[in-house]
Amino acid sequence: MCIESNPLNRPDLRHIIELFDEMENMRLVTKTTSSLGTQGSDEHDSEETIASAITDEKREKLSILSTLPKNLPFEFLEDITDGFSNKRQLGRGGFGVVYKGILSDGYTIAVRRLLRFQGIEMKQFDNEVNILMELRHKNIVNLLGYCHEVRRTYVQYEGKPVFAETSEQLLCYEYLDCGSIDKYIFGKNHELDWHTRYKMIKGICEGLHYLHENDRAPIIHLNLKPANVLLDAAMEPRITDFGLSRLIGEGNTRIVNTHTLGPIGYMAPEYRDMGEVSRKVDIFSLGILILEIVTGQDNSTKVDFIDHVCEHCMEGPQIKFMYPSLEPELHDQVELCIKIGLECVQTDRKKRPTAGDIIRKLEEGTKLGPTPSRENITTVPAFDITVERSGTGLPFHHKNCDNLNYVGTKEEKIE
């Protein structure tokens, strides 16, 4: 790369450093490349020339990153998912179907085949995928590649075979086989100690803070729930499914969330009822999620989840009942997280903290003061709706947030 004859194709130092730093995350993608076949001879010769001047380790890093695939052929994704067969399905939702893709060398990736929503333009899709592929944080799922192809197929029309064009959009991600956190935080069969639950809470807050405040553009999730937080082998939470709303449109997203996936209990009232969007919509969802992690209770199983938390989970004896082996000095930490969760679900979005505020409180170990009064907290009723808990939600991203239906002034969009 560095000795390309065209100077415009040579990377700068910042880019080279970033490439080396991301070697571990990109190893899986390199395996994907090897499954696609060998590269052209010119590219191979150039890589060998560079390799002669560096160590074996650095040569491996450069090989990985210089051959990183982005736009993957549809036929390749069709092949590694066994023709998008049912037995390879990891999950199905309102945005599409997720498949397990098994490469020829045994590595596994997750392939999301998006539904054909109206208004997805190829240039917009490609630009925004490239932005998303630059996002890197230990608490979000990494995008490894994508496919956007217009395919011509035969269909029957008035009894005659005719050509029809169909647009295929697929997103490929690292595969996390531990699944989503709902498999671990609910029920007595998967009891977790407080230290693991606290690690989950802090990691989710850090991932959401990165999405809200990253340098490229603020990303509002709009569908934060347990099924969209996966766990890696170290039990580190990784947020998925962020940004899909920017691809298919906020209006479609709200319809999908309400009528297909059913996470009504995680939706802020101003978004659910009026379509108003701000970062504080995600904070509301985060608050419900925090309360679920602390209590081990699914909000959809309670007549009024918030009332249940206020009445049964706030006092010292109740905390001891939830975590009988927890050191007494950490009871305040449990109470702090409950109060943070209640702060997040206040009806007035302006009173909800930011993700950065929450992280600072957690790091300082300080309390938020008095618990918000019950009348200021949104009621979260249970609904007779089957909530998808596949743990396979996958991310996407939009370049900016100017087109969403934000509430308030221009300045208030930074909330």
Question: Considering the domain 182-414 in this protein, what is its CATH number?
Answer: 1.10.510.10
* Relative orientation angle of helices 279-295 and 305-312, to the nearest 10 degrees: 50
Residues 288-320 have pLDDT tens digits of 999 999 998 888 876 688 887 887 777 777 787
pLDDT higher than threshold 80 for residue 26: no
Tokens at 77, concatenated = 């994704």
DSSP label at residue 123: H
pLDDT higher than threshold 80 for residue 145: yes
Q: How many whole angstroms from its chain centre is CA 93?
A: 14
Residue type at position 279: R
Lowest mean pLDDT among 70-74, 96-100, 204-208, 258-262: 258-262
CATH 1.10.510.10 occupies which residues in the chain?
Answer: 182-414
Integer angstrom CA distances of residue 51 from 1, 16, 56, 58, 68: 11, 15, 8, 8, 17
Lowest mean pLDDT among 49-58, 159-168, 228-237, 343-352: 49-58
pLDDT of residue 351: 96
What pTM was computed for the model? 0.71
The Cα 179–Cα 292 span in angstroms is 17
pLDDT higher than threshold 60 for residue 251: no
Which position has the higher pLDDT, 396 or 285? 285
The Cα 287–Cα 279 span in angstroms is 13
Tokens at 385, concatenated = 């709706």
pLDDT of residue 12: 62
Task: Identify the helix (H) or strand (E) that includes residue 306.
Answer: helix 305-312
Residues 176-233 have pLDDT tens digits of 989 999 999 987 656 789 999 999 999 999 999 999 998 877 889 888 999 999 999 9
Question: Considering the domain 74-174 in this protein, what is its CATH number?
Answer: 3.30.200.20
DSSP string covering 317-348, please? HHHHHHSTTS-GGGHHHHHHHHHHHHHHTBSS
Residue ranges of alpha helices (H) inside 22-141 are: 23-36, 41-51, 56-66, 74-80, 122-132
Predicted confidence band of residue 132 (pLDDT cuts 50, 70, 90): confident
Q: What is the mean pLDDT of residues 62-88?
A: 78
Predicted confidence band of residue 79 (pLDDT cuts 50, 70, 90): very high
The Cα 171–Cα 191 span in angstroms is 33
The Cα 302–Cα 304 span in angstroms is 5
Q: What is the mean pLDDT of residues 45-68?
A: 41
SS3 assignment, position 147: strand
pLDDT higher than threshold 70 for residue 17: no
The Cα 411–Cα 415 span in angstroms is 8
Lowest mean pLDDT among 202-206, 248-252, 346-350: 248-252
pLDDT of residue 9: 63
CATH 3.30.200.20 occupies which residues in the chain?
Answer: 74-174
The Cα 152–Cα 348 span in angstroms is 50
Phi, psi values for residue 279, rounded to 5°: -60, -30
Q: Give burial (CB, 10 Å; 0-12/13-18/19+) of 292.
A: buried
pLDDT of residue 191: 72
